[in-house]
Amino acid sequence: MKKNSLIFIQPIDPYREDVVVACDIPQNEIIKWLKKQKVRRNLIDWVETDRSIFEVLEKNEAVFCWNEKIRGSMIILKNYQDNWKFWETLMHEIYHLIFNISKITMLSDETEAQAYLFEYLFHSIRRKLQKIDKI
């Protein structure tokens, strides 16, 4: 794994949801970490079997994946750099997350709540990736 490799579960408060965030971590290491964290088995099975997640990641700098059946989500980033290109990629993936969370929490028409959630998630995830905040 790379020096800046990191993986953690980001709570999405107060909506009782969470997202796995991984940066510069290969699929087999993500699976090992999920098992060590004792996350739900259906989430592990999804990551082990859904090849499309990592096929998309091969061609892109990041991927947001969502499995509505198991209410599981992940943001996977690669090539960590503390620069605007990387942070803009993170913002893009967070938007996908908020879009999906908004549907299940009935916030689709609540743009102000979405904006606050976006701000909270970007701030929290960015500070963890920068190793300013502990995981």
Place of tokens 């620069």: 83
- The mean pLDDT value for 89-107 works out to 93
pTM > 0.95: no
Q: Domains in the chain: how many in total?
A: 1
Q: Which helix (H) or strand (E) holds 101?
A: helix 84-104
Place of tokens 């909506």: 15
Place of tokens 């592990």: 44
Cis-peptide into 11, omega within 30 deg: no
**Residue 119 included in any domain:** yes
Instruction: Please give the residue range of the domain that contains residue 66.
Output: 6-129
**Residue 22 included in any domain:** yes
**Residue 88 included in any domain:** yes
**Residue 73 included in any domain:** yes
**Residue 1 included in any domain:** no
**Residue 72 included in any domain:** yes
What is the predicted pLDDT for the residue at 13? 80
What is the predicted pLDDT for the residue at 115? 95
Q: Is the pLDDT of residue 1 over 70?
A: no
